[in-house]
Amino acid sequence: MRVSPKKRGRFKGKILFEKVIMFFLYRGMKVLYKYDTRVHNEIADWPIGRTIVLAASQNGPELCMRKVSWGIVRTGNIEDPDILISFKSIEGAFLVFSGQIGTAQAYAQHRFLVKGDIAEVMSIVRCIDLTEAYLFPKIMTKRILRRVPEKQMGSIRVYCHAILGV
């Protein structure tokens, strides 16, 4: 089956978009570990050495992280992670990463698979939801989160720290 250049371009655009979102999601979580007590407490409870993979699909972009004593670090490919959240398709991941649907709705629609301790997965999802609340505009956050959390610092500060890596 041949795919039109337009569809192929859209598909590649979604993959690029998901890579950018994963970059900011990881950097945002690192910043919030320092400045938001809720994210700090969630990540601090993870055991040191815990490996986490968030995959956009089986062959799509991945965010691989490891818990270390000072927070989280991004790592290369992790063969057998402790926690795996894997979207079934690039399109399903795009809906979540673009803020069209929330993680709870995506889970209810069976758009991703989970491997690992469900309590730890929920902790990761709470961190992702808090990070999204900082990174997405409030109008999107209201649509994808049941309750919009109060921010402990400004979104622009989070973006600045995330971009500059401080």
Alpha-carbon separation of residue 85 from 9, 49, 94, 144 (angstroms) = 26, 17, 14, 18
Taking the domains of the chain in order of start, what are their residue ranges? 19-164
Cα(17)–Cα(9) distance, integer angstroms: 12
CATH of domain 19-164: 3.30.1050.10
What pLDDT shows up at residue 31? 96
Count the Cβ atoms, other than its own, within 10 Å of residue 133.
24
**pLDDT tier at 166 (50, 70, 90 boundaries)?**
low
What pLDDT shows up at residue 146? 82
Cα(130)–Cα(77) distance, integer angstroms: 25
User: Is the CB of residue 95 less than 8 Å from the CB of residue 67?
Assistant: no
To which residue do tokens 């926690």 refer?
83
Q: What is the pTM of this model?
A: 0.89
What pLDDT shows up at residue 70? 94
The 10s digit of each residue's pLDDT in 56-102 is 988 889 999 999 999 999 999 999 999 999 999 999 999 998 888 88
The 10s digit of each residue's pLDDT in 130-159 is 999 999 888 888 888 888 889 999 999 999
Beta strand spans in the chain (E): 51-55, 62-68, 71-74, 83-87, 112-115
The 10s digit of each residue's pLDDT in 7-42 is 888 889 999 999 999 999 999 999 999 999 999 999
User: Is the CB of residue 33 less than 8 Å from the CB of residue 123?
Assistant: no
Cα(19)–Cα(22) distance, integer angstroms: 5
Judge whether residue 114 has pLDDT over 90: yes
Burial of residue 71 (number of CB atoms within 10 Å: 0-12, 13-18, 19+): middle
Count the Cβ atoms, other than its own, within 10 Å of residue 51.
17
